[in-house]
Amino acid sequence: MKNMEDLDWRILRIVEICLKNHEWVPIQEIVKKAKLNQNEVSYRISRLVRIKMLNTSQYGYRVSHWGYDALALDTYSKKDLIVGMGGKVGVGKEGDVYNVLLPDNRNAVLKFHKHGRTCFTMGKRYRNYLADKRHISWLYSSRLAAEKEFEILTALYPIVKVPEPIANNRHTILMGKIEGTDLKKANLLNLGVNPEELFNEIIEEVKKAYKLGYIHGDLSEFNILINNEGDFVIIDWPQVIELNENKFKLEKITSKEVEYDAESYLKRDLGNLLRYFKKYNIKRDLDTIYDYIIN
């Protein structure tokens, strides 16, 4: 990014905009939008290709993963939302999470959604907002996932224990950092946490989220972070199941389907929790907890 000149940024942004209508953007299109002569545009494009901000094919150009990351980071930096960036906190199946520094010196994290990095399948359940668009680009689906996750965090925070949503740009979300580890790696007894109390507290959060109209959909010991004081947050919400009826009507999903989805996803989330807490000798009845949550 340090090597990027103003005109490089301009061309990169133009390619990004043109991708709304093109799978690959032809050079003529870029020349037209940039209002620069063809030589200048060719020069800028060759620079961007060389530093891997653009991908190229016989049909034209498109923004690479790096290019899209750079555009997002540049926006955060210009808006003074992020003043520094550190190392990776975690690598997920569908994105990377980095430490960042906010202008007020607070630590936060920046999550990059990266669909289709390894293969072009939707790893999670995105039907809610992707509808029939199965052949959309990774760029578009990553952006949708980040927007969705940010929307959910905003709806849930601070009622439900989730990271504080700070900002969203393109395929990224900026959010509060929890200094801790996921339940999978944590040893509750070493942390001085009473497993039964923690289990009950998590169920309360699941119930609050449900009341607000959301089921996590991928809840497990990997998506609950806990710190040394035993405070926890539930992360990783893009595959949420929304219970808002109007939304489903718009997407022509029948209420029967919704009910089935809601029940099966909530039960799966609860099943994952019960499985994890078994090692702490907590044995509870899934249907009883399910009824407690939905009533």
Give every CB contact of residue 238 below 8 A, 6+ residues apart in sequence: 113, 124, 126, 145, 146, 148, 149, 152
* Nearest CB to ligand ATP, comparing residues 60 and 165: 165
Q: Report the distance separating Cα 238 and Cα 149, nearest Å.
A: 4
Q: Which candidate in 8, 69, 218, 269 is catalytic?
A: 218
Q: Report the distance separating Cα 236 and Cα 113, nearest Å.
A: 11
Compute the least distance from the CB of residue 121 to Mg ion, in Å.
17
Compute the least distance from the CB of residue 90 to Mg ion, in Å.
8
Q: What angle do CA 95, 97, 98 make, to 5 degrees?
A: 145
Compute the least distance from the CB of residue 127 to ligand ATP, in Å.
17
Q: Does 236 bind ligand ATP (CB under 6 A)?
A: yes
Closest-CA residue to 161 (of 229, 258, 259): 229
Token reading at 42:
């060719």
* Nearest CB to ligand ATP, comparing residues 71 and 234: 234
* Nearest CB to Mg ion, comparing residues 92 and 176: 92
Residue 213 interacts, among ligand ATP, Mg ion, none and using kind-specific CB cut-offs from 5 to 8 Å, with: none
What is the binding site for Mg ion (CB under 5 A)?
92, 223, 236
Task: Report the residue from 69, 147, 182, 269 that binds ligand ATP according to the rule CB under 6 A.
Answer: 182
Is 269 noted as a catalytic residue in this protein?
no
Alpha-helix runs per DSSP H in 19-132: 27-34, 38-50, 65-78, 127-130
Task: Report the residue from 32, 50, 93, 278 that binds ligand ATP according to the rule CB under 6 A.
Answer: 93
Q: Does 205 bind ligand ATP (CB under 6 A)?
A: no
Residue 226 interacts, among ligand ATP, Mg ion, none and using kind-specific CB cut-offs from 5 to 8 Å, with: none
Q: How many CB atoms lie within 10 A of CB 220?
A: 18
Residues that bind ligand ATP (rule: CB under 6 A) add up to a total of: 20
Three-class SS of residue 107?
A: strand
Compute the least distance from the CB of residue 223 to Mg ion, in Å.
5
Which own/partner pairs from 274-282 qualify as long-range (CB within 8 Å, at least 24 positions apart)? 276/183, 276/184, 276/220, 276/221, 277/195, 277/199, 280/188, 280/195, 280/196, 280/199, 281/195, 282/195, 282/196, 282/199
Give the amino acid at 118: T
Q: Does 165 bind ligand ATP (CB under 6 A)?
A: no
Residue 205 interacts, among ligand ATP, Mg ion, none and using kind-specific CB cut-offs from 5 to 8 Å, with: none
Q: Report the distance separating Cα 185 and Cα 221, nearest Å.
A: 9
Closest-CA residue to 70 (of 23, 4, 159): 4
Q: Does 222 bind ligand ATP (CB under 6 A)?
A: yes
Q: Does 163 bind ligand ATP (CB under 6 A)?
A: yes
Compute the least distance from the CB of residue 211 to ligand ATP, in Å.
23
**Interface residues toward ligand ATP, by CB under 6 A:** 89-90, 92-95, 97, 109, 111, 163, 175-178, 182, 222-223, 225, 235-236
Catalytic residue IDs: 218
